Amino acid sequence: MPPRRLSFSLNPLWMYYASRLALAIALICGLLRYVLLDYFDPMRCGALLSKGRFLDETHRNWQPDGCMMHSYGPKDASSCLSGRDVLFIGDSVTRKLFFQTAHLVDGALPTSPPDDEQKHADHTLVAKSGTRLSFYWDPFLNSTRVTDILVSGLGSGASNRLSPHSKPALLVLGSGLWYLRYSESSGGLPAWESNMEKVLNSISFAPSLVADEIVMLPVEEVVPAKLTRERAATMRMADIDAMNSDLYHRINPPSSDTVRLFYPNRPPMPVSYPAVFNLMLDPSRTDDGLHFSDDVVKIQANILLNSRCNDALPKKFPFDKTCCRRYPWPSFVYLAFLAFIFFLGPCMFARAWYEKGYTMSAVTTVLEENKSLLMYSGSLCLIYMADRTGFWLKEQKQFNSLSFVAFSLLALAAGLGTLKRSDKDLGFLNREQTDEWKGWMQVAILIYHYLGASKISGIYNPIRVLVAAYLFMTGYGHTTFYAKKADFGFKRIAQVMIRLNLYTLLLSYIMNTDYLSYYFAPLVSMWFLIIYATMAIGSRYNDNMAFLLGKIFASAGLISLFMREKWLLRSLFDILRRTCAIHWSADEWAFRVNLDLWVVYFGMLTALATIKIREHHFTEHPQWPLAFKTSLGLSAFVLLWYMIFELTQPSKFVYNTWHPYISFLPIGAFVVLRNASVILRSASSRFFAFIGRCSLETFVIQFHLWLAADTKGILIVIPATRWRLTNMVITTIVFVYVSHLVAEATGEITAWICGNEPKSLPTTSSTTAESSATRPEQIPLVSDSLHEPGKAQEASESDGTMRRIPSWADRLADGSSATTSSPTRSKLFADGWKPGLKTRVLGGLGLMWLLNVLWPTA
């Protein structure tokens, strides 16, 4: 009897379980850190001042532990300081920090003393905003002026008085190195310890704080190898370490955290101690071993302003500064809306379960019936928790070329490893191919966003082409549908617009952001309406190709004129502001539209050309093979030319001036090459196609659940910067999983709103600009027959049988594009009255208008 062979196989649902496990890990880690660790530092002020590291080798991107630091400029600094005084007292290290802080507040102010003779003098600078910044030279912090300031907030003498209308917004004290350098005359370390005790006691026991924030600088760590012989002999690292340890324990007593745990009303010493200043000092950034370069000190100045100003600045979108800052508490209307959305799904589930008698056997059925609403409530709650609370941490992005290449190669490997080939020619721009196309483009865009590669022109430029390619598919898909079906009814408009915008609109309210900030959905929606109007006007004459082309060119001219005359768009947005309380930026929207102004029309023309090629059997013409081979050679040349062209542009801003006029070239070249043979047309990647089917959701949800701080940072679910790669893996799994479920739920809800059976909804499986109603309209390059994948689906529905609902892992494994659907619907309306589609749409618009009017303005 032959020995039995050992066999091993993975559960086909392993990706489904892995996704739930990743979500559970993220929630548990976030909860434990939020409850246990963040109790003592809920605003991440301590992290800002004590922990961090540089993310780059050039020492420019400083990353505090678990929060995002804001780069201050004159506008934000002036808004925070509001014309009040800022006071620095100390030695030459403090003086250098003073000048860098002044330069951040007002770029016209100097970054150093005017000459060496004034190094040991007082300095006063006044910013354009009225903020007065003063530096008092007192390296020992033992003058009567220091005592007067700490006790009463007044300088010694009338000329040194602070502004009478307010105390300083910031008081910075620094001392220590002069006690070591001139130890014989100053008394050395014992004298410093005695004076620090006196200074800190004065602050601690003062009847009121002499400044909004008082900062005691650490004694700067020197670089002995670069010090002069005299300095090296007296400024010893052992003494500096002892002084910093003494300072830290005086300001942060070892028992203070325990005391605060049991006696939370007892305030800690009201002094900030930025120990992190010494962590960012690198020997290569100093010439004399004592004073460090301006860029390092500028980061230190930024930390001071982050500590003082972050929580004082207006708390509105984008929430891109999370160090030392509380998230705002929602207003009444905002809170009521959040509660309604978060509890809608659970309440509908509870109601349906109640109707079935709360029996355990009915749980599965009730969950399936209410899955879409539960998914909406759950996902929006998760996203709000991720990016509008401190439940998870946020950190800054950092571009790394090796990481970009590595992630791109991994994605390519996943795409090639899941290639499948159909038994027949699927035709030109077939459904699986367009899903794959949208998928790999979305993966590239996601990597680009995660690593913050927008500053790299050679990467930014082709990414712009990928966005243009989505718009090309919008023009191609919708034009194909209207040219073939001529269905200009309201239901079709509602299906596409709701499918594209439902989740995006809810997200803009939930996150209190600007709808246009999720620019892709608004952009595609606008172009769909333009395509609809272009095709619908005089639609009875659409069979006349000259008339149809005339309409397209007229549309292009009118839209170009409208976007060129900015006052027209500004007037339109002003009307929306006055009538609907919609506050959109006309300049930002004009930039988005003008950047891809022509590529949609190229898609429309391509759709018409493809239809005519099929209708007139041009593929059977004797000259077709020659023309086809010529187009292949020309396309290869165009792609090569484009790569050389975009890489040789001096900046992305220069490239943007060319982009509207050349983006169609690489797109058209890719389309021709991708459909060059039967093998290429019949082959597609299941991995990329899966991402493509939820690409709209991934584009929108990435703003808050994969990225963070409204795309300005990245989400950290496991604390500590060194776990960044692990964080990326976990958040990527959760992000894709949620995006997939939201895509299915949106299709289901869209079907319910439009009164469709979910499985026959044209837009159920469409997740990008091109609605799936257009997808059956695939026009082959060679074959005479029209590829209509929808027929098989209709046949499977006609038999009335119930099939197992596939999970996202099933769809990825078998490449299926079927969507889940509930056999029944939750009853949102009472039996006996069922509003029509137009009533539902009008009611939704009315609710949005009411929300806009009642919504609190920033």
- The residues near 43 (Cβ < 8 Å, ≥ 6 apart) are 311, 323, 324, 325, 326, 390
Active site residue 291: yes
Interhelix angle 586-595/652-662, rounded to 10 degrees, is: 60
Task: Find the catalytic residue in 257, 288, 295, 487.
Answer: 288
Query: Would residue 106 show up in a list of annotated catalytic residues for this protein?
Result: no
Long-range contacts formed by 752-756: CB under 8 A, 24+ apart? 752/372, 752/825, 753/494, 753/498, 753/837, 753/840, 753/841, 754/491, 754/494, 754/495, 754/498, 754/837, 755/491, 755/836, 755/837, 756/495
The pair of structure tokens assigned to 679 is: 């093998």
CB atoms under 10 Å from CB of 740, counted, come to 23
CA dist 366 → 369, 374, 710, 737 (Å) = 5, 11, 35, 22
Known active-site residue 249: no
Cα 821–683–427 angle (5° rounding)? 80
Cβ contacts of 845 within 8 Å, gap of 6 or more: none
Largest CA distance in the chain: 107
Q: How far, in Å, CA of 213 to CA of 170, rounded? A: 5
Written as one letter, the residue type at 502 is: L
Q: Are strands 683-685 and 419-421 parallel, antiparallel or unpaired?
A: antiparallel
Please choose, from the candidates 188, 157, 159, 192, the residue with its C-alpha nearest in 3D space to the C-alpha of residue 175: 192
Phi then psi for 253, rounded to 5 degrees? -55, 145
Q: How far apart are the first and last CA of the chain?
A: 80
DSSP state letter for 272: B
Please identify which of the residues 291, 422, 677, 783 carries the catalytic annotation: 291
> How are beta strands 85-90 and 170-173 bridged, if at all?
parallel
**HSE-CB for 353 with a 13 A CA cutoff:** 16
Alpha carbons 465 and 610: distance in angstroms, whole number:
22
90 vs 122, 132, 140, 157, 177, CA distance in Å?
A: 10, 17, 7, 19, 10
- Residues counted in the chain: 858
Element (H, E) at 201: helix 188-204
User: What is the SS3 assignment for 203?
Assistant: helix
Looking only at the bridges linking them, the beta strands covering 52-54 and 62-64 are antiparallel
- What b/e sequence results for 300-317 when a residue is b if at least 16 CB atoms lie within 10 Å of its CB, and e otherwise? bbbbbbbbbbbbeeebee
Write the DSSP symbol of residue 319. Answer: -
**Contact criterion met (CB below 8 Å) for 753 and 494:** yes
- Report helix angle 686-693 to 695-705, nearest 10: 70
Q: Within 10 A of 243 (CB to CB), how many other CB atoms are there?
A: 21
Spell out where 495-635 has E strands. Answer: none
Cα–Cα separations (whole angstroms), residue 131 to 84, 257, 556? 5, 36, 51
Cβ atoms of residues 518 and 700 within 8 Å: yes
Q: How far is residue 171 from each of residues 129, 271, 274, 304, 675, measured CA to CA in Å? A: 19, 10, 13, 10, 68
What's the burial of 685, exposed, middle or buried (CB within 10 Å: 0-12/13-18/19+)? buried
Angle between helix axes 457-485 and 520-536 (nearest 10 degrees) is 30
Which is the catalytic residue, given 92, 175, 379, 635? Answer: 92
Question: Looking at residue 166, what DSSP letter applies?
Answer: -
Active site residues: 92, 288, 291
